[in-house]
Amino acid sequence: MHFSVIRILGLIIIALSVASCANRGTPSGGEKDVDPPVILESRPENFSTNFKGNEIVIRFDEYVKIKDLRKQLIVSPPMDTDPIVTPMGGASKYITIKIQDTLLPNTTYAFNFGESIVDNNEQNPYPYFRYVFSTGNTIDSLSVKGYVEDALLKEPETFVSVMLYEVDSTYNDSIVYKQKPRYITNTLDSLTTFNIENIKAGKYKLIALKDKNSNYLFDQKADKIGFHEGYITVPSDSMYPLKLFKEEINFKAIRPSQDGETRLIFPYEGSYENMRIDVLGDTPEGYKTRIVKDQTKDTLYYWYQPKFEADSTFFLVTNEKSVDTFKHRFRKLKADSLVLKSLTSSILNFEDEFTIGANIPLSKIDRTKIKIIDKDSLEVGFEVEYDSIYNKYKFPIAKQEGQTYNFTFLPEAFTDFYNASNQDTLTYNLRTKMKSEYGNVRVRLKNAKLPLIVQLVDNKGNVMYEKLATESPVVDFNNLVPRQYALRVIHDTNGNGKYDTGNFLLGIQPERVSYLETEMDEVRSNFDQIIDFILLD
């Protein structure tokens, strides 16, 4: 009995000792795996010739997964029916490619996986794996290299498709709308350079496409396009730059609809500037119309009076190149009442003017029923500017720093298209800051070939301030809201004061845009900044 107790106590002591040793430190589980998966074999072998099958199997040394395949996988030449790649959503030591399309004879195919193949545990990617085979006796081995820029933005978008169309007896420029290219690659998510590999000698059209629909066809409404002028001949050692731009959309009139008692909506695509809307047929006696553009949408509002007695009529919508006829059936809807609202914030910046907009076209303003006074109760002189396209009034004043301005509009100050007026007194209080709360930037343009458009933009390329340099290479931006800006210059080749984009079918490249190479200092309050912008030829 005594011996048994001693034995049990000894076992307990040993167990406690082992537990103590085990708890002195937490096991790390070893070093983190940073190695990508390794390919053990491919069936058929990579770079096989005389390929006849429809299935490819790639075996790895560990379990792998596939991610972002839709973005990452590029098949060149593109197939009409996408191949089936497995596993999807799971892990396996095998990747299988099942070809659904009929393969072209004597053609080299390349499956570019980007970084979509990762190991199951640490997501280490197999970098830029390519599987290549030929349906003929040889593997095409030539390549075309280059880089992609954005015509207007400092950095191009990611996942840009770069394509080669074979220039043969069937080629014409409209092929980009109808057929997939002969060869294709992608800049992926971290590159602006491209390399189209495994192509044969020949003459090609080189195009870049930010392909929103991922169908390798140019959609003018959705896609950006870039192209090399003329054709390229392969083999070539050249490095080809491609500049992406968004085309002006071709004009298209869209069927109108009614959203008010005497208001129709006329949507459109492209530019409205040469768009005309006419009634085809009889109109009521004394018929009048007004057209106002929506601030953000591609829409014109067509206001008319008096109402039509007929239940329907035809409208003719034209521009310089198209004519469309639409039948419209009128509905009985509630009439609108005049509503006016300020389009200016409570802070009146020195470069801005107080602005009022209305929901119905305005036709008259009575200056005698408008008064502006400052914080010292002194009356302030003002001008009146009407923008008929957007239906808004601006009231320029000589602004003083650190002031408060009270804008008062008495009843019947504004009269609309239907001869209705505001019945209430409208009052708006705005204030100006001290000029010391703003910053100033002087831009000295070196090697300048005028005219130029000088812009301060935000990090998305939106224009915050703009100046035209037509006579002097020195441009001043005063009273800037403190923040970070980027500085760019548009080379206004045709001198029309605006940026002109390109057109693929017409072979027109966009106007050149230059960005300041180094980031400009942040605009700070009460600080003047001078920038020398050296423009390269």
Which residue pairs, CB below 8 angstroms and at least 24 apart, start in 515-523? 515/154, 515/486, 515/487, 515/488, 516/486, 516/487, 516/488, 519/486, 520/441, 520/485, 520/486, 520/487, 522/482, 522/483, 522/484, 523/439, 523/441, 523/480, 523/481, 523/482, 523/483, 523/484, 523/485
How far apart CA 76 and CA 109 sit, in angstroms, is 6
* Cα dihedral sign, 282-284-286-289: negative
Instruction: Evaluate whether residue 31 is within a structural domain.
Output: no
What pLDDT sits at residue 35? 86
Is residue 390 within 8 A of residue 357, CB to CB? The reply is yes
Quick one: 522 and 505 in the same domain?
Answer: yes
- Give yes or no: residues 117 and 70 share one domain: yes
Amino acid of residue 316: L
Residue 31: the pLDDT is 64
What does each C-alpha distance from 78 to 52, 81, 112, 124, 182 come to in angstroms?
A: 18, 9, 11, 28, 7
Average pLDDT over residues 169-194: 91
Per-residue pLDDT tens for 92-115? Answer: 999 999 999 999 999 999 999 988
Nearest to 204 by CA among 227, 188, 178, 237: 227
What CATH number has the domain bearing residue 516? Answer: 2.60.40.10
Burial 431-441 (b: 16+ CB within 10 A, else e): ebbebeebbbb
Beta bridge partners of residue 513, listed in sequence order: 490
pLDDT at 3 over 80: no
CA distances from 148 to 155, 188, 205, 490, 515 (A): 9, 12, 15, 19, 16
Write out the H or E segment, with its range, that includes residue 15: helix 2-22
pLDDT over 50 (residue 22): no
Q: Judging by beta carbons within 10 Å of its beta carbon (0-12, 13-18, 19+), is residue 518 exposed, middle or buried?
A: exposed
Residue 189 reports pLDDT greater than 90 = no
Q: Is residue 305's pLDDT more than 50? A: yes
Query: Tell me: the pLDDT tens digits for 74-94?
Result: 999 999 999 999 998 899 999
Q: Which of 134, 155, 176 is the last residue of a domain?
A: 134
CA 220/CA 215 separation, integer angstroms: 13
Q: Which of 155, 235, 157 is nearest to 196 (CA)?
A: 235
111 and 172 share one domain: no
Is residue 364 assigned to a domain? yes
Same domain, 124 and 204: no
Residues 6+ apart with CB under 8 A from 367: 384
- Residue 87's domain comprises 39-134
Q: What is residue 432's predicted lDDT score, i.e. its pLDDT?
A: 98
Once rounded to an integer, what is the mean pLDDT over residues 164-169? 96
Same domain, 318 and 356: no
Q: Are residues 324 and 356 in the same domain?
A: no
Q: Under 8 Å CB-to-CB from 349, ≥6 apart: which residues?
A: 432, 433, 438, 479, 481
Q: Is 285 helix (H, G, I), strand (E, B) or coil?
A: coil
Last residue of a domain, one of 109, 134, 159: 134
Amino acid at 294: D
- Residue 279 within a domain: yes
Residue 437 φ/ψ, nearest 5 degrees: -85, 0
> In whole angstroms, how far apart are CA 157 and each of 28, 210, 303, 477, 484?
41, 8, 41, 29, 21
Q: 320 or 498: whose pLDDT is higher?
A: 498
Which pLDDT does position 202 carry in this prediction?
96
- pLDDT for the residue 89: 83
Q: Does residue 335 belong to any structural domain of this protein?
A: no
CATH label of the domain that carries residue 422? 2.60.40.3710
- Which band of pLDDT confidence, cut at 50, 70 and 90, is reported for residue 33? low
Mean pLDDT of 212-217: 91
Q: Which residues contact 239 (CB under 8 A, 6 or more apart)?
A: 145, 146, 147
Query: Are residue 157 and residue 221 in the same domain, yes or no?
Result: yes
Last residue of a domain, one of 329, 354, 386: 329
What lies within 8 Å, CB to CB, of 360 at 6+ separation is 303, 336, 338, 339, 416, 417, 418, 420
The closest of 158, 157, 213, 211 to 184, measured between CA atoms, is 211
Confirm whether 7 is domain-assigned: no
Both 174 and 87 in one domain: the answer is: no
Residue 77: cis peptide before it, omega within 30 degrees of 0: yes
Q: State the greatest distance between any 2 C-alpha atoms of the chain, in Å, as a whole number.
A: 125
Mean of the pLDDT values across residues 461-481? 97
- Do residues 56 and 86 lie in contact, with contact meaning Cβ atoms separated by under 8 Å? no
pLDDT of residue 7: 53
CATH code of residue 280: 2.60.40
Q: What is the pLDDT of residue 110?
A: 96
* 204-214 per-residue burial string, b: 16 or more CB within 10 A, e: under 16: bbbbbbbbeee
**311 plus 395 within the same structural domain:** no
Work out how many domains the chain is built from and give that number. 5
pLDDT mean across residues, the chain? 92
317 and 366 in a common domain: no
pLDDT of residue 350: 96
Q: Are strands 239-244 and 142-150 parallel, antiparallel or unpaired?
A: parallel
**Residue 359 confidence (pLDDT):** 97
Is 454 within a domain? yes
Q: What is the pLDDT of residues 127-156, one digit of tens each?
A: 889 999 999 999 999 999 999 999 999 999
Task: Decide if pLDDT at 191 tops 90.
Answer: no
Query: Is residue 179 one of the residues assigned to a domain?
Result: yes
Q: Are residues 77 and 99 in the same domain?
A: yes
The CATH number that applies at residue 113 is 2.60.40.1220
- Band (417; pLDDT cuts 50, 70, 90): very high
Residue 267, exposed/middle/buried by CB under 10 A (0-12, 13-18, 19+)? middle
Counting residues of the chain whose pLDDT is more than 90, the rounded percentage is 87
Residue-level pLDDT at 19: 45
Using pLDDT thresholds of 50, 70 and 90, give the confidence band for residue 333. very high
The reported pLDDT for the residue numbered 260 is 94
Read off the pLDDT of residues 40-68 as tens digits, 9 standing for 90 and up: 999 999 999 999 999 999 999 999 999 98
207 within a domain of the structure (yes/no):
yes
For residues 125 and 73, state if they share a domain.
Answer: yes
pLDDT of residue 114: 87
* Token pair 């294709």 in the structure block, residue: 184
